[in-house]
Every structure is written in C-alpha cells, then in structure tokens.
Structure 1
Amino acid sequence: MVFEKVIFVLGGAASGKSAYAESLFVGARNPVYIASAQAFDAEMRDKIDLHIKRRGTNWRTLEAPMDAADAIGALRPDESCLFDCATLWLSNHLLAESDLAAEQSRLLAAIRDCKAALVVVSSEVGQGVVPDNALARRFREAQGRLNIELAACAATVVHVVAGLPRALKGELP
C-alpha cells in the first residue's frame, strides 16, 4: 500500500540526504523532527549540533532512538515530520538485540497510520563491499529489507548522491 503523505529520502553516508530532506520543510508550519541518533562521543555530538543549527529554532524535536513508531503515531494532522534516520533507528534496535521483524512491523504500521506529512531518511548500505563480520552483514541485510519496505509504501522516493536529488518513484517535491 502506498501512503500519499510519505516521502522516502535515500542516499549514502554524507551524500546530502538529510540537508535535502530538511530543505523540503522550508516554510512548513509545525515542523517536527524525530531524531534517532544518540551522542556517544564528541564527533556524533558535533554532527547532531550541526543538524540542529541547520534546521533552526522553529522545529519541535522528539528524541526517539528506539521508539520512532510511538513518536510517529503521536503526530497531529497539522504537523509535518522529518524522521532522520531509519538507519540509526535500526542500528539501535540491532545492538539492543530487539526483535527486528516486530520493530519494523511497528514502524511501518505507524507510518501507515500517520496523520501528518512525513519524510523518512535512510542510508543506502548495499552498494559497498560485503562486510567481513556477521553483525555487519546482518545489519546490511536488515537495512536493505527495511529500505525496500519504506520505498514500497512511500508515494515519493528520492535518491540523493553528491547532494543531487533524483526521483526514483513519483516526482521530486
């Protein structure tokens, strides 16, 4: 089932996908940012601070490293939401040894039932070399499956490479 209010933005690490997704909210009323990142070190804190500065002060931020489904489910119809990103959300669940299939089902159900316009950001991880360890291979496979499901349910899918967006499904917003 395709959800007309969902835009899925996909790209590699440091591809410009988050900046592109944020640009979709210029002039948006009641923007909400659902953050899945956790700052375990100074480098990640700096990256989070950069995202906060780039977005500006008019955003309401919900930190949901594990509970994105609940945060998405609580959105109102008058809000627009950026969930950044599904990759870190998945990593958090993988490292916590959650039931990935159950958590993915919860997330997809929340997206399906979401009352707000929603942009979901995720990383494309399947274009590199085969990882050399079981955990990394498990993550890559799980991320690939999640991305397939997110792309299937989104009305628009945008792939960002070197800061350049290209519509894979639907039209560029």
Structure 2
Amino acid sequence: MLPRTTFALGGAASGKSEWAEALVNSSGMSKTYLATGRIWDDEVQERVNKHQARRDAGWRTVECPLDLTEPLAKLPAGEIVLIDCATMWLSNHLMEGSDLEAAQAQLLQALRGCAAHWVVVSNEVGQGIVPENAMARQFREAQGRLNIALAAEAETVVQVVVGLPQLLKGKMP
C-alpha cells in the first residue's frame, strides 16, 4: 500500500528523483509535479530537460520556485503530488532573502493541510566538509533543519544511495 506521505532524500545524482517518479507512476493516481527549479544557466536547463523527458504526458507540471502553499492547497484527495525538490525551493528562498524559518513553517503547514498524497524529494547536504563561506554554511544548516522537519512529517522516509532506496522510516512502498 502506498503511504500518503513520503520523503525521499539523497546526494546529488543519487537516483532519488527517479525513485520518487517511479513511486508516483506506480500509484495509479492523477499525478502533479511541483517543479521548484529555476533556470540559471545552460547546465541547469539540461538537468531540467532530463527530468522532463522522464515524465510522460500523464503528469501535470506546475512551476513554483517559491510558493508551494497555493498549489498544495488546490490538490484533491485521490491525487498524488511530487515536489522536486525541497533543496531548490530552499535555495530560491535563500537567494530571495526570505525568512527561511517562516518559509519552512508555511511549507510544513501546507503539507499537513494537503488532501493529496505527497512525495517530497530533497538533497542530503550535511555529509561533506564545512563550507568556507557564510552563505553556504547558512544554507547547509537550513537544509538540514528542513530535512529533519520533512522526515518528521512523512509516514515513510527513504534515502536513495547509488540508485538504491534505503528505508529509514515507515514501510517500503
């Protein structure tokens, strides 16, 4: 049985998005993709193109680099939403100078109120060296706090390492 709330995390290029997309595809529900990425350069555009190419016509895509609350509130029960990814969403808020604690609180409230099943993808960024600049350290700390909060909200938490899902909480979907 598919959990109503799933959090998938892993390192960059770990296979977490592919795993989450496969989970959503297997649900049999109407699928919405909340895309949080912003196209900053050609490299990011290429990554976005690869993500788009993996999704079939059954996906409805909503671009929402900052505001996830409105699209989450509009989703009915019986649908499933994939948020890819919380890391880009947080990065966008950091670059905008947003109050990160307030943005996180709004996101968590929106997820709690969302009638649809949800899957959130995020990067694990705290396993490397301590960054040399203040903004990178601020981001790493904020991402860690966000990941902890998302894991607490989710019924199921899976870490994807080298394309292999490792169950951290709940039951493997």
State the partner residue of 1:138. Answer: 138
Alignment of 1:18-33 (within 5 A): 18-27=17-26, 28-33=28-33
**Corresponding residue SS for 1:160:** strand
Q: Spell out, residue by residue over 1:44-77, the C-alpha distance to the aligned partner (whole angstroms, 9 max, x if none).
A: 1111111111011110000000011221122111
Paired with 1:43 and 1:54, the residues of 2 have a C-alpha distance of 17
Paired with 1:152 and 1:105, the residues of 2 have a C-alpha distance of 13
Q: Could you tell me the TM-score, scaled by structure 1's length?
A: 0.96
Q: Spell out, residue by residue over 1:86-137, the C-alpha distance to the aligned partner (whole angstroms, 9 max, x if none).
A: 0000000001000111111100000001100000000000000000000000
State the shift of 1:26 in Å: 2.2
**Corresponding residue SS for 1:70:** helix
Paired with 1:101 and 1:124, the residues of 2 have a C-alpha distance of 18
State the shift of 1:21 in Å: 0.2
Alignment of 1:96-111 (within 5 A): 96-111=96-111
Gaps (5+ residues) in structure 1? none
Sequence identity percentage: 54
1:81 maps to 2:81: yes
Letter in 2 for 1:169: K
Paired with 2:72 and 2:127, the residues of 1 have a C-alpha distance of 29
**Corresponding residue SS for 2:9:** strand
Runs of 4+ in 1 over 3 A off after TM superposition: none
State the partner residue of 1:157. Answer: 157
Q: Spell out, residue by residue over 1:17-47, the C-alpha distance to the aligned partner (whole angstroms, 9 max, x if none).
A: 0000000022433100000001121111111
Paired with 1:29 and 1:152, the residues of 2 have a C-alpha distance of 25
State the partner residue of 2:5. Answer: 6
Letter in 2 for 1:119: V
| Alignment RMSD | 0.9
